[in-house]
Amino acid sequence: MKLLAIRVLSLIIGLENIPYLKLIIANLFLSKEARKAVNYDYLTGKVIKKALDSSSICVDVGCHHGIILGIMVKSSSQGRFFAFEPLPISYKYLVKQFDLPNVEIYNMALSDTKGTAKFNYVVNSPAYSSLQKGQYITSDKKIIEINVETDLLDNILNNKLDSNQKVSLIKIDVEGAELQVLVGAKNTIKRDKPIIIFEFGSVAAEYYGTKPDDIYNLLCLECGLKIGLLDSWLNGENPLDKEEFKEQYYKGINYYFMAYP
């Protein structure tokens, strides 16, 4: 039903405008925590529009309903887009929604290993589906275990891009498996220095044993990027140092971040 609603809204107002509509509704009717989640999508759209040019190459990891992918496509008319979604029902929807020559949709979970894995499909809350069983394990959640293909982003892009083509932006929303995706994309990140918009919260990441030091050391020390908040980057403010990033994580102040050159 939700996919149908998104399809209808995309036809009426365009996928790229759905985050704005959600933000208006959230401010009128939802709790503070729910408004925060919706605001992240809104800020992500603003970052994408500011960061991309007409021919940018973008990656959407955990594409879900394709709202963020839609903003990417709208913001870079001659760009190239790679999207990854492990849930078959969402993948089939995305293939129909983005039947475009410059968009490639993959039915897989990006990680730091190539192969197959068990994936927990939360039927009545698909957004919480993940490789590890996490915070959604309650009596009212229906979970189906499915097999999914896994691969490294570096492997995919090595076969798709020429040496002179650089990735401009990567968005990652994978319910706690952010570190695994980043490790599998490390060569691309080091080479291209893309903007990376990623979810990283303790509620999900703890099930993978990931700590903020792991993310900070990989992105900042190994790959030469900075980490900051989306609204701070939009306003030209300073990035976070390691201790500030850890405070954001452990106190749950924010759980969406940016990495950038």
What would the pLDDT profile of 138-178 be if each residue is shown by its tens digit? 557 788 899 999 999 999 999 999 989 999 999 999 999 99
Top pLDDT among 16 and 218 is at 218
256-260 and 226-228: which strand pairing? Answer: antiparallel
CA separation, residue 181 to residues 44, 110, 235 (Å):
19, 6, 28
Domain ranges of the chain: 2-260
Q: What is the pLDDT of residue 1?
A: 45
Please give the Cα distance from 183 to 112 (Å, whole number): 6
**Average per-residue pLDDT in the chain?**
89
**Of 255, 254, 188, 176, residue with least CA distance to 219:** 188
What would the pLDDT profile of 190-223 be if each residue is shown by its tens digit? 999 999 999 999 888 988 999 999 999 999 999 9
User: Hey, is 175 helix, strand or coil?
Assistant: coil
Top pLDDT among 29 and 206 is at 206
Which one-letter DSSP state was computed for residue 76? Answer: -
Please give the Cα distance from 213 to 219 (Å, whole number): 10
Top pLDDT among 30 and 198 is at 198
Phi, psi of 167, rounded to the nearest 5 degrees: -75, 130
User: Hey, is 168 helix, strand or coil?
Assistant: strand
Q: Which residues lie closer than 8 Å to 66 by C-beta, 6 or more apart?
A: 6, 15, 60, 83, 93, 94, 97, 98
Q: What is the pLDDT of residue 142?
A: 83
Q: What is the pLDDT of residue 126?
A: 80
pTM for the full model? 0.88
The residue type of 96 is K
Q: What is the pLDDT of residue 138?
A: 55
Please give the Cα distance from 30 to 140 (Å, whole number): 22
- The topology (CATH level 3) of 2-260 is Rossmann fold (3.40.50)
Please give the Cα distance from 56 to 69 (Å, whole number): 13
**Of 79, 111, 81, 113, residue with least CA distance to 97:** 81
- Other residues' Cβ atoms within 10 Å of the Cβ of residue 219: 23
Please give the Cα distance from 70 to 19 (Å, whole number): 11
Per mean pLDDT, which range of 17-26, 77-86, 122-131, 153-162 is the poorest? 17-26
